[in-house]
Structure 1
Amino acid sequence: MPRLFFSLIFVFAASIVSAAEVTDLYQAQSSVASQSEEDRQRLAPELLKQVVIKVVGDRRAVEQADISALVTDAERYIDQFYYQQIPSSDGDSAEQQLALTLEFNAEGINNALQRIGLPVWDKIRSETLFWVAIEYAGKQQLIGEGDEDSLLFYIEKAAKKRGIPLLLPLMDLEDQTQLTFNDVATGNNIAVKQASERYGSSVIVSARLRGNEESVEISWQALLGEEVERWSSQGNVKTAIQSGVDEFADRLGRRLNISFSASGNTEMEIHVTGIEDYNGYSRLMDYLGSLQVVSDIKVGSLGGEKLDLVLLIQAEPEKFRQLLAMGRVIVPDATDDSSSQYRLLP
């Protein structure tokens, strides 16, 4: 994009209906000069720190903790490593560069973080829907899945680095009918929410980018339930996008990361309605069993489409309830004032 002046609006929606397991949560990747052991040893501490930030979800918490012993001993936690050719850092798929990927031991990292006193953001995370509106060269366009654009490359890379499952809109006829460029540009949040319903989105972040490829400033706004948060990022396009996504991940991570209980397991009783068949029961049990802080599930009784469970969790119950709400497999039962009553979503 030679000397390109444009206005760019991103709208992120972290889906509370769709949740995905971040399978590469304990992996980090970096370009490397060679496949030598020396280069691998040199990069290991840096890549481990990237993993720690991704797992904790909050850079500020990591910076305030003493992780020096952990990163210095990075090689001890490596399960495997491999090399591959990846697109160059500018998103040009025609140019390739050598990259090293290190995969660290999840249990070892979690245990180390627990000893340090750092929280962990669960590997089951809400998918994030990105609406992207660009304006340049007299054109206005919403871009999405399948579009060839370096901006999408930077967004995908930034989200992957922070462990955010990414979902791009189809931008088919339904999307184009429901949402226009002006809706996003003018902050028509009602229209954005309506267009996002088909993707199961509820947490929405919008950002407006002004400048050119070399120097931009982005103003961000996040709608998190009833709360609104704002921040900005500056730099070239690549740097500003990464910085903005980093801040978004920090804010979301602080809400959802959980400190392992120092006193061990805590019993938490929940009652789930809407269990109509075995598929519903299986879906619920698979979801609860996938959560890192759940160490055991005891089934009480099942009857009348209601299941009684006792969970053994390594977390504060209130934080754990926030995690359950974001997963959107079960939701608090609005017809009951008890914090233990939930309903299985279809």
Structure 2
Amino acid sequence: MAVQTRSDVGLTMILALVVLALSLLPLTPAYGVVVDDLYRATVPVSGGSDEELAEGYRQGLARVLVKVSGDRSVVNQDEVATVLEDAGSLVDGRQLRTSGDDSRELRLQFSRSGVNRALADAGARVWGMNRPLTLAWVAVQDGGDRGLLAETGESSEQGWSALLIDEADARGIPLALPPADRAGDRRLLSEVWGQFMGQVSRASSGLEHDLLAVVRISRLGSGWQASWLYEGAGIEQSRSVTAETPQTLVEEMVDNWASDLAGRYGVSGGAIESGPRVRLQLDGVDSPGAYAAAKRALAQLNPVKSVGAVAVTPDHIVFEVEYEGELSQLRQNIALEQRFRAQDGQQADREAGEDNDFRNLQQTLYYRWQQQAVVPPSGDEGG
């Protein structure tokens, strides 16, 4: 017969109270991805003179304003044009790099508050860092050949996949393609081509996504045509566009997606006060004291603005953490707290470094709580 100790009873009671409190909170959308590079841009420059850098600042800020607002036309507004002329004042960091062929690029970090304020002054919206993940099923027919785009894992890939991924990245839309093993499924290809959303939705079971896009691309005279269904989280879009080149076609399609998403999730720039949020799953919390200590430790980290429990199970607690700055900075601060141990491949991810990695980051971090941190022995012990 199992014996329940007083400590077990106390933990059970505190967890029950937390679960009850959570059940009374209003539900909020659970986005799949934190887009960590909204306020960063990389642009080509011809040199490092003041004039050349100023032009790079203008180009970089224009790209950031489009990503943050979700509106390509925002840069044509008179108020924004004035901001672009003084783009250097919003630069928080820069790096000028030269490649092997002597071409140069300027990597820029812009002020989050400055960009949001500029959009607010222009009456434009701001679409925050927490964004839904789109799973795109795309069938392309060129002449007699028809194929299904899939994730190859090759960042240098040329063709439709690269165009779609690059344009989605430029617009701040987290995008995933189906795994490579689906590319040869002829039945699935037919369902995507026929845009049978119900069947494609079933095929998407087990693949991470918040939204589904089912796209058909084909030749139209000397140009191209794309038609799509785009659904999920209150979005329902069915449209088609034509263009002379694949690049322009993809730009037009993704522009439609970004416009609808920003229209649903974007808010007035003046209303953006909270920072990005990330979920942190913490295993090994075995007492009310450990729960309180873990929450207190998170709250005391420099980038953290707020922290609260959003889910409790016998095995772990999930916190939602609101933070300032970059996700990589939050991880680095957590690493300084010895009671948090990264789970599985997370430590390797941190050691590989994320500062130069502009990929989308998954929203949940995984750690194990160790109440007793390992303290190195002092130098005068044993001697």
User: Structure 1-normalised TM-score?
Assistant: 0.64
Give CA-to-partner distance per residue, 1:291-338, whole Å, 9 cap, x none.
Answer: 99xxxxxxxxxxxxxxxxxxxxxxxxxxxxxxxxxx999xxxxxxxxx
Other structure's SS at 1:199 match: coil
2:205 corresponds to: 197
Does residue 29 in structure 1 map to residue 42 in structure 2?
yes
Q: CA deviation at 1:227?
A: 3.3
Q: Are the counterparts in 2 of residues 178 and 195 from structure 1 also a CA contact under 8 Å?
A: no
2:125 corresponds to: 119
Greater share of residues in strand: 1
Mapped partners of 1:184, 1:101: distance in 2: 38
Mapped partners of 1:260, 1:144: distance in 2: 36
Mapped partners of 2:163, 2:216: distance in 1: 16
Mapped partners of 1:199, 1:328: distance in 2: 15
Q: Are the counterparts in 2 of residues 196 and 202 from structure 1 also a CA contact under 8 Å?
A: no
Number of aligned residues: 264
1:275 corresponds to: 312
Q: CA deviation at 1:274?
A: 4.7
1:133 corresponds to: 139
Other structure's SS at 1:204 match: strand
Other structure's SS at 2:225 match: strand
Q: Are the counterparts in 2 of residues 214 and 237 from structure 1 also a CA contact under 8 Å?
A: no
Mapped partners of 1:166, 1:96: distance in 2: 32
Q: What code does the residue aligned with 2:83 have?
A: L
Other structure's SS at 2:106 match: strand
Give CA-to-partner distance per residue, 1:132-154, whole Å, 9 cap, x none.
Answer: 32233633322311174421111
Q: CA deviation at 1:131?
A: 2.0
2:162 corresponds to: 153
In the TM superposition, what are the counterparts of 1:283-298 in structure 2 within 5 Å? Answer: 285-286=320-321
Does residue 168 in structure 1 map to residue 177 in structure 2?
yes
State which of 261, 286, 291 in structure 2 corresponds to 1:252.
261
1:300 corresponds to: none
Between Structure 1 and Structure 2, whose CA radius of gyration is higher? Answer: 2
Q: CA deviation at 1:65?
A: 6.6
Q: CA deviation at 1:86?
A: 7.8
Q: What code does the residue aligned with 2:177 have?
A: L
Q: CA deviation at 1:209?
A: 2.3
Residue ranges of structure 1 left out of the alignment (5+ in a row) = 1-15, 88-94, 266-270, 293-326, 330-346
Q: What code does the residue aligned with 2:199 have?
A: A
Change (3 A) 1:291 1:219: farther
State which of 51, 55, 68 in structure 2 corresponds to 1:38.
51
Give CA-to-partner distance per residue, 1:212-250, whole Å, 9 cap, x none.
Answer: 796222233323447344242412111111121122111
Q: Are the counterparts in 1 of residues 137 and 215 from structure 2 also a CA contact under 8 Å?
A: no
Q: Are the counterparts in 1 of residues 193 and 215 from structure 2 also a CA contact under 8 Å?
A: no
Change (3 A) 1:66 1:164: same
In the TM superposition, what are the counterparts of 1:172-251 in structure 2 within 5 Å? Answer: 172=181, 180-211=188-219, 215-224=223-232, 225=234, 227-251=236-260
Q: What code does the residue aligned with 1:82 have?
A: Q
Q: What code does the residue aligned with 2:45 have?
A: V
Other structure's SS at 2:173 match: coil
Other structure's SS at 1:67 match: helix
Mapped partners of 1:205, 1:278: distance in 2: 35
Higher relative contact order (CA 8 A, sep 6+): 1
Mapped partners of 1:85, 1:158: distance in 2: 24
Q: What code does the residue aligned with 1:164 have?
A: I
Change (3 A) 1:262 1:191: closer
Q: Are the counterparts in 2 of residues 179 and 192 from structure 1 also a CA contact under 8 Å?
A: no
Q: What code does the residue aligned with 1:78 have?
A: V
Q: What code does the residue aligned with 1:207 have?
A: V
Change (3 A) 1:162 1:96: farther
Q: CA deviation at 1:185?
A: 0.8
Q: CA deviation at 1:85?
A: 6.3
Q: Are the counterparts in 2 of residues 22 and 125 from structure 1 also a CA contact under 8 Å?
A: yes
Mapped partners of 2:85, 2:135: distance in 1: 36
Q: Are the counterparts in 2 of residues 131 and 143 from structure 1 also a CA contact under 8 Å?
A: yes
In the TM superposition, what are the counterparts of 1:296-311 in structure 2 within 5 Å? Answer: none
Q: CA deviation at 1:130?
A: 2.2
Mapped partners of 1:86, 1:189: distance in 2: 45
Identity of aligned residues (%): 25
RMSD: 3.7
Q: CA deviation at 1:195?
A: 1.4
Mapped partners of 1:232, 1:244: distance in 2: 7
Mapped partners of 2:49, 2:179: distance in 1: 42
